[in-house]
Structure 1
Amino acid sequence: MLIILDRDGVINAYDGHYICSVDEWQPLPGSIEAIGRLCKAGYKVAIATNQSGIARRYYDLGILDAMHLKLKQLVEAEGGCIEFIAFCPHHPDDDCDCRKPKPGLLHTIQNALGLSSLAGSLMVGDSRKDLEAGLAAGCQASLVRTGNGKDTEHHLIKRPLENISVFEDLSDLVDNLLSGRPD
């Protein structure tokens, strides 16, 4: 099974401000270990992340690559592997096909991994955009309460999405998934 993770607010700390350097990129407690546990259990893990900070010139591709190298190295130290990272570098006004909530990033992951579909895959995010992208691509979707997740959960009460599971954080989701408990 493929698990697709949003990055900011799911794996690393995010308070709504752009993360513009490797030093600012800090994993949330337990998130890296959770990814390692998923991989050791036989799951494949990929990342789909909007990174409009590139279009806004807050940081460049070299800095983004360095952040992702840090992420990959931390995950590898926990016995895991990030299969693929798809990112959207565009500004929200660019109307591209890859910016979540559109499913383009997820289709990029699907193609990169040679999958015929994303049915049975899980998209994990902290925003409605993440959940909508996952559902549009045919994934199941889960919300974590880290990052923007608590606000998103509150807004889902007013404008619900069908079949969304909610977890405290990535570690809680992984605990649930690996124990086989229903959500």
Structure 2
Amino acid sequence: MEKIVFLDRDGVINKDGYGWTKDNYITRWEDFYFLPKVLEALKKLKEEHFTCIIISNQQCIAKGLMTIEELSFITNKMIEKIKESGGDIAKVFYCPHSKSANCLCKKPKPGLFFDAQKNLGIKNLEEKFYIGDMDRDIEAGKNAGLKTILVLSGKTKRGDVAKWTYKPDFECENLLDASNIVIKNSR
């Protein structure tokens, strides 16, 4: 069985920029803060032989708040710090488009998952997990045929899910809790 887990970035791996950065996005490495227990969770997933793949909307590119090169710099620094802590990110897939672009890769559409599947030779997405912090993450994961885990370390508050059309398969506090769910349900 392929041991693969998909992760959102902002609100799952790092502190979301909304409400405290200049433009509500993480556009500088100086504003990138790993959330508590994230590095431990990623190390644990690697030790259990999971391939971790990031799937993230980054419309700050379309808004002109940062360039692809600046996003790549942040991504490379993030991956470097994760590796230094014993974890690993195999690949990162970003949608840089605006909401109005109506592209196939912007969550809640599942295009980035299918791109990852094709690029990495993943046999199927069934029985794989997507960990996110918002309703569009859960919807995107469901649209791709994945099991979904909502972490409450980002924008979503406990109780918000009651209003959502798409419900997560699991709900937990943070990425470490989510990694434990993934490991337990993949044995």
Fold conserved (TM > 0.5)? yes
Deviation at 1:163, TM superposition (A): 5.2
**AA matched with 1:76:** K
1:54 maps to 2:32: no
* Structure 2 gaps, min length 5: 19-23
RMSD of aligned residue pairs (Cα, Å): 1.7
* SS of residue matched to 1:58: coil
Matched, 1:161 2:166: yes
Matched residue, 1:4 = 6
User: Which residue pairs with 1:121 in the alignment?
Assistant: 128
SS in 1 for 2:72: helix
Q: Which residue of 2 aligns with 1:171?
A: 176
Change (3 A) 1:113 1:13: same
Structure 2 counterpart of 1:135: 142
Aligned residues: 179
Q: TM-score, normalised by structure 1?
A: 0.92
Name the SS of the counterpart of 1:11 in structure 2.
coil
Decide whether aligned partners of structure 1 residues 18 and 114 sit closer, same or farther in structure 2, where only a CA change above 3 A counts: same
- 1:21-170 matches, within 5 Å, as 21-150=28-157, 153-162=158-167, 164-170=169-175
Amino acid at match of 2:139: E
Deviates more, 1:136-145 or 1:155-164: 155-164
Give a deviation string over 1:63-119, Cα, whole Å, max 9, x none: 100111111111111222211100000011110000000001111111121012211
Residues 85-94 or 33-42, more deviating:
33-42
CA distance in 2, matches of 1:104, 1:72: 23
In 1: Cα distance, 2:8 partner to 2:163 partner: 23
Worse-superposed segment, 169-178 or 140-149 = 169-178
Q: Which deviates more from structure 2 when the two are superposed, residues 111-120 or residues 154-163? A: 154-163
Instruction: Give yes or no for contact 1:47–1:86 (8 Å, CA) kept in 2.
Output: yes
The more displaced of 9-18 and 85-94 is 9-18
